């Protein structure tokens, strides 16, 4: 590992974990949504209850829960789009551009990726919190009406969402501190920052 770019392997490692956890989170969101829809459509969700009021409460909860899960599914769909855009842009800036994200002159690319990482992290955190809010209702349905729904699946879904959020924030932070010291030295010693006598003078960006 070169001491001049010691952060590069760590940035790539965090990026790989970003892709991994975001993919797992997307799959868990889909499976949770699919299982919930199957439960609400099955006959087991409408048991033969003597109390009509209790049956009405259950059906209203199913209708409201379906609407909430539909909203979470739409949010998860946009999260998938954000993650795809993030992955493509990160690979483009880190591999295919002349100035990588560690280059001092890549301020636009680095700023764009930091903002995109932060926005994706907030969106995924919002979805994870959305799924977390379903936990009391699912617990009530499972314990009271013996509904066949995996609470472990729901727990894994929002847990991976929060883990993915953390990794996106870590990636954004690492981009901020990721710098190539060898390129910074070359920038400091470039002719544009040297006086005619060869001494180093600060360059303020204005022509003399």
Q: CA 188 to CA 99: how far, in whole Å? A: 17
Determine how many CB atoms are found less than 10 A away from the CB of residue 138. 21
Q: Tell me the pLDDT tens digit for each residue of 67-109.
A: 677 777 788 889 999 999 999 998 888 887 655 666 555 667 7
Predicted confidence at residue 34, as pLDDT, reads 86
Q: CA 46 to CA 58: how far, in whole Å? A: 8
* Cβ-Cβ contacts under 8 Å for 10 (sequence gap 6 or more): 174
Residue 54: pLDDT above 80?
Answer: no
Taking the mean position of all CA atoms in its chain, how far away is CA 56? Answer: 38
Instruction: Specify the 3-state DSSP secondary structure of 48.
Output: coil
Beta-bridge mates of residue 172: none
Domains of the chain, by residue range, sit at 3-42+60-190
Residue 41: pLDDT above 80?
Answer: no
Say if residue 155 is exposed, middle or buried (CB neighbours under 10 Å; 0-12, 13-18, 19+): middle
pTM of the model: 0.72
Q: Tell me the pLDDT tens digit for each residue of 179-204.
A: 755 444 444 445 544 444 444 444 44
Q: Tell me the pLDDT tens digit for each residue of 139-150.
A: 877 777 677 788
Q: For residue 111, which of 81, 91, 89 has the smallest C-alpha distance?
A: 89
**Average pLDDT score, the chain:** 75
Q: CA 77 to CA 89: how far, in whole Å? A: 19
């Amino acid at each position: 590992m070169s001491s001049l770019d010691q952060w590069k392997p760590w940035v790539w490692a965090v990026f790989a974990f970003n892709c991994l956890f975001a993919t797992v989170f997307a799959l868990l969101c889909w499976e949770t949504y699919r299982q919930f829809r199957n439960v609400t459509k099955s006959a087991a969700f409408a048991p033969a209850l003597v109390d009509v009021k209790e049956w009405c409460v259950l059906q209203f909860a199913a209708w409201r829960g379906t609407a909430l899960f539909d909203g979470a599914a739409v949010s998860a769909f946009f999260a998938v789009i954000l993650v795809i855009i993030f992955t493509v842009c990160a690979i483009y800036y880190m591999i295919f551009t002349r100035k990588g994200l560690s280059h001092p002159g890549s301020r636009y690319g680095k700023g764009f990726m930091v903002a995109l990482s932060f926005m994706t992290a907030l969106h995924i955190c919002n979805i994870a919190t959305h799924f977390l809010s379903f936990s009391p209702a699912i617990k009530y349905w499972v314990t009271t009406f013996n509904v066949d729904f995996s609470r472990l699946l729901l727990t894994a879904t929002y847990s991976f969402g929060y883990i993915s959020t953390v990794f996106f924030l870590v990636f954004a932070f690492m981009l901020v501190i990721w710098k190539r010291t060898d390129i910074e030295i070359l920038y400091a010693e470039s002719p544009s920052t040297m006086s005619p006598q060869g001494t180093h003078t600060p360059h303020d960006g204005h022509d003399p």
